[in-house]
Amino acid sequence: MTVLVENDLEFDFSSSIEAIIFDDDRLHNPSTIKRVDFIAEFKDRFVFLEVKDPDMPGVVNPEAFKTKLLTGNLIPDLARKYRDSLWFRTLCGKATKPIHYLVLISMASLEPALLLAKQDELKRSLPITHKDWSAPCAVGCAILNLDQYKKQFGANSVRRLSAGD
């Protein structure tokens, strides 16, 4: 069973072939590359997962995160993390399957409609396709809240450590 942790969230990647903490300086040496948190390999795809958890206990100013999201300042950072991670994996010869980019935002006060609008912004910011490319840079991308993530990957796919579940 592959279990990986990002702060207060524990992810069960047992259905994957392999899952790694990609945002790890030991893998990349210190650099300016922005990295997604996790990369999981499945039989038919890779999932690049970025986690944002302003609902984590002890977060000093969760409203600052919400402001960053609402003003559009978060989306370019999310796009850069994906592009840099894709670039790195491609140059390593490890981008051999279709890639799905997922952003999990664990903030209960965000409406799903807002996440959908920000998802559209992210798709434009990446961009997914370009007239000069022979293939899209990702099969798709999605911004999900905790409930949406669990619906897509299973009720036990992620849990909050501080909840003691």
Cα gap 115→144, rounded to integer Å: 7
Q: What's the confidence (pLDDT) of residue 25? A: 83
Q: Which domain holds residue 28?
A: 3-163
Flag whether pLDDT at 150 surpasses 80: yes
What residues form DSSP beta bridges with 51?
104
Mean pLDDT of 12-19: 96
What is the band of 28 on the pLDDT scale with cuts at 50, 70, 90?
confident
What residues form DSSP beta bridges with 160?
9
Mean pLDDT of 26-53: 92
Flag whether pLDDT at 56 surpasses 80: yes
Cα gap 77→83, rounded to integer Å: 10
pLDDT tens string 81-93: 999 999 999 999 9
User: How many domains does one find in the chain?
Assistant: 1
Question: pTM value?
Answer: 0.95
What residues form DSSP beta bridges with 52?
105
Q: What's the confidence (pLDDT) of residue 27? A: 78
